A and B are shown apart, each in its own frame.
Chain A
Amino acid sequence: GENVEQHPSTLSVQEGDSAVIKCTYSDSASNYFPWYKQELGKGPQLIIDIRSNVGEKKDQRIAVTLNKTAKHFSLHITETQPEDSAVYFCAAPYEKLTFGTGTRLTIIP
């Protein structure tokens, strides 16, 4: 099966600075890597995903990079804003999606 490790578990950054969250996975057959954002008391929402045929994907202030050789992928948030404060989860599949343990991101005004 798949094993997904996510770091750090908590992250505080000054508003306007960048935040980076990293995940590693174990199964070299994994080919889809989503990132979810979960606000307090709500269900997770997909914010960006990447498939194994590309190394980077951007969507405005959010980007995801994938290194298949090293089996890790990262979420990058630039120009952080207070509304970016949430818990972020990565995931990787084998037969089913396996989620990381989450990163609580706090943006300091």
Chain B
Amino acid sequence: DGGITQSPKYLFRKEGQNVTLSCEQNLNHDAMYWYRQDPGQGLRLIYYSQIVNDFQKGDIAEGYSVSREKKESFPLTVTSAQKNPTAFYLCASSGRLAVGGSYNEQFFGPGTRLTVL
């Protein structure tokens, strides 16, 4: 059963704590992404990775960190430096950009809802 899994589904954190969100895919995709979704807003890109051991900042990277040690995994750490971390976090993956810059479909995981207490 191929797809993207995110865990946990719900996560509660106390202020000042770091927390790591898991994202795993078995689609053999090269590229992986992390998005943040707030009520009434679209998806904002936090970090993305086109290949193992390489990643780039998205539009709202401050207060977040990632690693890409394996093709299948792209964990996101929400650090205490993130001032407003309560949100719905979505992980996605896709094939690498094709020749000529043609995009491939992004597949999304089910999301993790993070609440800071």
B residues 36-61 near A (Cβ < 8 Å) are 40-45, 48, 58
Asked if A102 and B42 sit within 8 Å, CB to CB, the answer is yes
- Smallest CB separation, B90 vs chain A (Å): 5
Asked if B108 and A32 sit within 8 Å, CB to CB, the answer is no
B111 at the binding interface (Cβ < 8 Å): yes
Closest residue of B by beta carbon distance from A33: B103
Asked if A43 and B103 sit within 8 Å, CB to CB, the answer is no
Asked if B45 and A43 sit within 8 Å, CB to CB, the answer is no
Asked if A96 and B48 sit within 8 Å, CB to CB, the answer is yes
| Measured CA separation A89–B90 after assembly (Å) | 14
Q: In which size bucket is the chain B interface? A: 20 to 34
B48: A residues at CB distance < 8 A:
96
Asked if A101 and B109 sit within 8 Å, CB to CB, the answer is no
Q: Interface 1/0s, chain B 71-94, versus A by CB < 8 A? A: 000000000000000000010100
B28 at the binding interface (Cβ < 8 Å): no
- Smallest CB separation, B56 vs chain A (Å): 9
Q: Interface 1/0s, chain A 1-44, versus B by CB < 8 A? A: 00010100100000000000000000000011010100001111
B-side residues, CB < 8 A to A, are: 4, 6, 33, 35, 40-45, 48, 58, 90, 92, 101-103, 105-111, 113
A-side residues, CB < 8 A to B, are: 4, 6, 9, 31-32, 34, 36, 41-46, 49, 51, 89, 93, 96-97, 99-102
